[in-house]
Structure 1
Amino acid sequence: MSRHRRLGTVIRAARCAQRMTQAQLGQACGYSASAISRVEAGLLRPAEESLPRIAQVLGISLDALDLGRPATLARDVTPDQEDAMLRRQLLVAGMAAAGTSMLPSTATAAAHPDASARIVGALYDPTESAPVSLQQLGLALASARTQFTAARYEDLGAALPGLLGTGEATRNALSGRAREEAHAAVARAWVLATELALKGHSEVAWPAADRALAAAQASGDPVVRGEAARVLAITMRRAGRPGAAVDFLRRTAGSLEQDRSDVAQAVAATLLLTGAYTAACGRRRADALDLMAGAEDAVDRLASADTRPPSPLFTVDATRAQADLYRIGVHTALGTPDEAVPYAARIVPDRLPTAERRARYGTDCARMWHHLGDHRRTVVALRFTEQVAPEEVRRPAVRALTADLLYAPVTVAGVRALAARTGVS
């Protein structure tokens, strides 16, 4: 790896850790967004006098950017050892910029022992892989998607580094249309990595989502771009920026709506659903209900159409049951869980398409009943979630809900056993 490329990799890692766009970094340092993109790709080295400012903006030491002087390395260090040392420096710099938040917390580690660390490794110390055919890459991606939809998160975490490494190698070996298809596969692999990081409430979701969107944009596929935009918006909401996330989702959904294909319309509907929940988390009731109405209209149009999307969407489908499921979360987040009860009642959980979605139904119902003060039904919902997706109840957010029940003034049958099984007590 050239020194210019190593410098670009350091800058990209620190920028992602600071949750900055290329345009924001460029504006702060006197460069255009395209110039920052070229720097990160190793095609352009910033002027020496710019490095202190870049380091200051990124919140890292100047030493982390001073990769151009061989004298900083011992004489008996081989090129491979040098690369390993620099990757370790990069990882430390990126985590320092994020206040070490990219390291798994105790709660996250209990839910997914190695997931965050593996995603960090895939980001900054990728697995050496050989290219494969697009068909083989597609099969590997489909297998990873199956692990996610089946809520087998530990298996997914173990598979992701290899998938991402193979995807990158395959993409780099191709050109033209085949390269765009590989970009789309890489983007979807990073979408899965982001989804997994979000499940564990890990800050590594930010750089993973950034990688997903970059690859999606390079693919030229608006549907894949919409899928990546959705997970990026969720990371924005988790970081306390629901307003910006809603605006981003609206814009992306609007661009997809220009494409009249059923798949594009379905992805746009999922973005509106995510936007509705995001607005609800920001207590923007009017926006949340408006976005829900728009999503439900889109879902109804798809349901009444003569044609159907050729295959399920990548992580979330656009169906009436899905809209009802989002209604539960929206009304609970708005502080009106009583309005969610009718939507919960009309969902038949066994008809939800995947274990991950059935688990989402269970956890959303648990939150709804918890807000309504019905601890018994909260426990019933959590036990349903455990039955359909055992790893789901070990997520940090669900463990926190179990802890609330465990230490509530009124003890409910089954709580202590559930807490013991999920590591809460």
Structure 2
Amino acid sequence: MEAVHRLPPLLQAVRDDQPGTVVRLFRQAAHLSQAELGAMCGYSGSTISRLENGQPPLHHIAVRRRLAQALDIPDDYLGLSSSVSRHDTRTAGGSRRDTADPATLHRGPSEGGEPMKRRTLLAGMAGSTVAGIAMGGPAAATPGAAGLEALLFSEDLAVAPLTRGAARASLTGAGRTYSASRYAELTRTLPGLLAGLRAALQQSGDEQRETFAAMLSHAYALASSLSTKHGEDGLAWVLADRSLTAARESGKDATVAAATRTVAITMRRAGHHQGALGLLTSAAGSLDAGRGTATAGLIGAYGNLLCTAAYSSAQADDAGNAATFLDEATAAAGRLGDGVITNGVAPFGRSIVAVYKIGVFTALGDSATALAHAATVDPAELPGPERYGRFCIDTARAWAQHGKADRAVRALLSAERHAPEEATRPSVRDLVSTLLYAPTTTPAGLRDLATRIGVAV
């Protein structure tokens, strides 16, 4: 890391007051992806990308300080005055070392890059919620985010085991709460459900063990998806892994596929696109969903794997594979007719594939095609406020990329009306912040929306 301080491009970026370039060079020297740095700081990978391009909210002092602390960047390199809270000292080589922050990337002569990278990333992921609250960045002010850690420690709760009927009813209710975009309510009730299902699994006989394991897997997948909604990617990965463990105990192919998809999503969000794709394609290939006797549930699980693989490919800038996976998902949805299969956390059907196409083509930079697919979606076919909110938000991203900020804001306002808690997600706040600070006329309603969802105005 000391060598980066002497790089001519870095010194030039400091002289030219280009803090985004400074951040990028320090991140690359630390061998971190944008997603990994984002996990350390409580931001999404897309936000780090915008920051490195000099876009808002890089002008906020708190944002620059968080990046400086994560990457051990000298204050003056980011246009900051020295802060007594950082207790900076100089090493023999002239670089700064933050003696107060154990999660910096400076490493001594005996420490290899990769082990230090892993330790730093894990420390950052574990502390991202606390850091967000303390520093007032994007990880803060998400309704219902407080208490998410209870999902992680639900196994320690002393509760009575649920009966099979009570477990099924409670799990169905939790799914409806999620679909209704009532995330704060689900955050309160889900730990007890997880504990009750765990207790039931531990005390069940052989004839019910597979059933309770499948239900526990579904509940952990809900918990992982809920954590993802709040931008808690480290927690989401742990809960997804628990979902997969329970799914394998159930022995049910569709359950294992759904849990595998949940794990792959958390991997993709951490920047591990190829690893996620490997999981998804392997799981899809093992389902044998092409046979004529495949159940609707199995086809739905298969289709969701393909949709997620398409989006993961788009994130990796692989348009060819993204199109192939979308074609396969479209064919799978066609086998189900016009209905939507609610298979675990993720529903599947023609309307779901259409919404995925919006996100995939936006990720590939083809906003015109994304908007063409958005025009084909019938909102009445979407199963609940959560999916409608996602449709509106994905469409808003496409409009923003297309240079139509006013249309983007209209879509965001529609998402807020129908799924208020979906509209407060960190990724949505990132989008609103970008629109708010763009060098164009501020669309009507954007500033008020920003205030309501916690974006600094």
Which stretch of structure 1 is more off in the superposition, 99-108 or 317-326?
Answer: 99-108
Distance change in 2, residues 1:104/1:263 (3 Å) = farther
Matches within 5 A, 1:14-163: 96=123, 98=125, 100-101=127-128, 103=130, 105-106=132-133, 107-111=138-142, 112-122=144-154, 126-163=156-193
1:292 aligns with 2:326: yes
Matches within 5 A, 1:340-419: 340-409=370-439, 410-419=441-450
| In structure 2, C-alpha distance between the alignment counterparts of 1:103 and 1:120, rounded to whole Å | 15
1:265 aligns with 2:265: no
8 Å contact 1:402–1:415 — kept in the other structure?
yes
| In structure 2, C-alpha distance between the alignment counterparts of 1:209 and 1:217, rounded to whole Å | 12
| In structure 1, C-alpha distance between the alignment counterparts of 2:139 and 2:318, rounded to whole Å | 29
Letter in 1 for 2:308: T
Match in the other structure for 2:218 = 188
Distance change in 2, residues 1:245/1:59 (3 Å) = closer
The Cα of 1:209 is off from its aligned counterpart by: 0.4
Give TM-score scaled by structure 1 length.
Answer: 0.74
5+ residue gaps in structure 2?
A: 1-38, 40-113
Q: Deviations over 1:125-173 (max 9, x none)?
A: x311111211111111111111100000000110111011101111111
Distance change in 2, residues 1:319/1:267 (3 Å) = same
| In structure 2, C-alpha distance between the alignment counterparts of 1:377 and 1:59, rounded to whole Å | 41
Letter in 2 for 1:110: A
SS in 2 for 1:312: strand
8 Å contact 1:230–1:249 — kept in the other structure?
yes
The Cα of 1:59 is off from its aligned counterpart by: 10
8 Å contact 1:115–1:196 — kept in the other structure?
no
Q: Deviations over 1:226-279 (max 9, x none)?
A: 111111100010010111111211111111125722211121011101110111
The Cα of 1:212 is off from its aligned counterpart by: 0.2
Match in the other structure for 2:87 = none
1:329 aligns with 2:359: yes
| In structure 2, C-alpha distance between the alignment counterparts of 1:371 and 1:261, rounded to whole Å | 39
8 Å contact 1:102–1:204 — kept in the other structure?
no
| In structure 1, C-alpha distance between the alignment counterparts of 2:226 and 2:262, rounded to whole Å | 10
Match in the other structure for 1:221 = 252
Distance change in 2, residues 1:387/1:99 (3 Å) = closer
Q: Deviations over 1:313-340 (max 9, x none)?
A: 2222221111111100000001111111
Letter in 1 for 2:240: A
5+ residue gaps in structure 1?
A: 1-16, 18-55, 62-93
Match in the other structure for 1:66 = none
| In structure 2, C-alpha distance between the alignment counterparts of 1:359 and 1:406, rounded to whole Å | 20
The Cα of 1:109 is off from its aligned counterpart by: 3.7
Distance change in 2, residues 1:335/1:350 (3 Å) = same
SS in 2 for 1:317: strand
The Cα of 1:57 is off from its aligned counterpart by: 7.8
Match in the other structure for 2:280 = 249
| In structure 1, C-alpha distance between the alignment counterparts of 2:418 and 2:124, rounded to whole Å | 38
1:204 to 228, 235, 241: 235
2:337 to 296, 303, 307: 303
| In structure 2, C-alpha distance between the alignment counterparts of 1:250 and 1:265, rounded to whole Å | 14
Letter in 1 for 2:388: R
8 Å contact 2:129–2:140 — kept in the other structure?
no
Match in the other structure for 1:70 = none
Q: Matched residue pairs, number?
A: 335
SS in 2 for 1:318: strand
Match in the other structure for 2:266 = 235
8 Å contact 2:128–2:139 — kept in the other structure?
no
8 Å contact 2:261–2:308 — kept in the other structure?
yes
| In structure 1, C-alpha distance between the alignment counterparts of 2:242 and 2:332, rounded to whole Å | 29
Letter in 2 for 1:100: G
The Cα of 1:58 is off from its aligned counterpart by: 11
Cα RMSD, aligned residues only: 2.6
SS in 1 for 2:274: helix
Q: Deviations over 1:95-148 (max 9, x none)?
A: 74856346573433411331432223326xx31111121111111111111110
Letter in 1 for 2:324: D
SS in 1 for 2:324: helix
8 Å contact 1:58–1:97 — kept in the other structure?
no
Letter in 1 for 2:361: H
The Cα of 1:177 is off from its aligned counterpart by: 2.4
| In structure 1, C-alpha distance between the alignment counterparts of 2:151 and 2:351, rounded to whole Å | 32
| In structure 1, C-alpha distance between the alignment counterparts of 2:124 and 2:359, rounded to whole Å | 33
Distance change in 2, residues 1:60/1:372 (3 Å) = closer
| In structure 1, C-alpha distance between the alignment counterparts of 2:381 and 2:342, rounded to whole Å | 14
